[in-house]
Amino acid sequence: RQSTPFLISFISSQKLQNAHLTDRLKQQRNIRQGRRLLTRSYRICALNLSKHAKSGEQRCQHSRTPR
Protein backbone atom coordinates (compact mmCIF):
# COMPACT_ATOMS: atom_id res chain seq x y z
CA ARG A 1 0.00 0.00 0.00
CA GLN A 2 2.83 2.37 0.77
CA SER A 3 4.54 1.57 -2.53
CA THR A 4 1.67 2.78 -4.74
CA PRO A 5 2.65 6.49 -4.78
CA PHE A 6 6.21 5.50 -5.63
CA LEU A 7 4.97 3.30 -8.46
CA ILE A 8 2.77 6.06 -9.81
CA SER A 9 5.61 8.57 -9.72
CA PHE A 10 7.94 6.04 -11.36
CA ILE A 11 5.46 5.34 -14.16
CA SER A 12 4.82 9.05 -14.74
CA SER A 13 8.56 9.72 -14.91
CA GLN A 14 8.92 6.89 -17.45
CA LYS A 15 6.13 8.42 -19.52
CA LEU A 16 7.86 11.78 -19.40
CA GLN A 17 11.12 10.20 -20.54
CA ASN A 18 9.36 8.42 -23.40
CA ALA A 19 7.69 11.66 -24.48
CA HIS A 20 11.06 13.41 -24.42
CA LEU A 21 12.60 10.64 -26.53
CA THR A 22 9.82 10.75 -29.12
CA ASP A 23 10.16 14.54 -29.28
CA ARG A 24 13.87 14.21 -29.95
CA LEU A 25 13.26 11.57 -32.62
CA LYS A 26 10.70 13.82 -34.30
CA GLN A 27 13.14 16.72 -34.20
CA GLN A 28 15.88 14.63 -35.78
CA ARG A 29 13.51 13.41 -38.49
CA ASN A 30 12.41 16.98 -39.22
CA ILE A 31 16.02 18.12 -39.45
CA ARG A 32 16.80 15.28 -41.85
CA GLN A 33 13.77 16.09 -44.00
CA GLY A 34 14.70 19.77 -43.97
CA ARG A 35 18.19 18.94 -45.18
CA ARG A 36 16.76 16.79 -47.96
CA LEU A 37 14.42 19.58 -49.03
CA LEU A 38 17.29 22.06 -48.93
CA THR A 39 19.53 19.92 -51.15
CA ARG A 40 16.66 19.39 -53.57
CA SER A 41 16.00 23.12 -53.76
CA TYR A 42 19.73 23.66 -54.37
CA ARG A 43 19.61 21.19 -57.24
CA ILE A 44 16.59 22.92 -58.76
CA CYS A 45 18.30 26.26 -58.22
CA ALA A 46 21.44 25.03 -59.99
CA LEU A 47 19.30 23.93 -62.94
CA ASN A 48 17.59 27.32 -63.04
CA LEU A 49 20.97 29.06 -62.86
CA SER A 50 22.29 27.07 -65.80
CA LYS A 51 19.09 27.96 -67.70
CA HIS A 52 19.21 31.66 -66.86
CA ALA A 53 22.99 32.01 -67.18
CA LYS A 54 22.53 33.48 -70.67
CA SER A 55 20.18 36.18 -69.40
CA GLY A 56 22.77 37.23 -66.81
CA GLU A 57 20.89 36.00 -63.73
CA GLN A 58 23.82 34.54 -61.81
CA ARG A 59 22.29 34.68 -58.33
CA CYS A 60 20.86 31.80 -56.29
CA GLN A 61 17.67 32.63 -54.38
CA HIS A 62 18.31 30.07 -51.65
CA SER A 63 20.49 31.27 -48.81
CA ARG A 64 23.35 28.97 -47.81
CA THR A 65 22.33 28.89 -44.14
CA PRO A 66 18.81 27.72 -43.27
CA ARG A 67 17.17 29.99 -40.66
Contact of 37 with 62, CB cutoff 8 Å: no
28 by DSSP, 3-state: which? helix
pTM of the model: 0.36
pLDDT averaged over every residue in the chain: 71
* Distance of alpha carbon 21 from alpha carbon 40, whole angstroms: 29
Is the pLDDT score of 60 beyond 60? no
- pLDDT score at 25: 84
The domains of the chain are located at: 14-49
Cα dist. 62→9, 14, 41, 66 in Å?
A: 49, 42, 8, 9
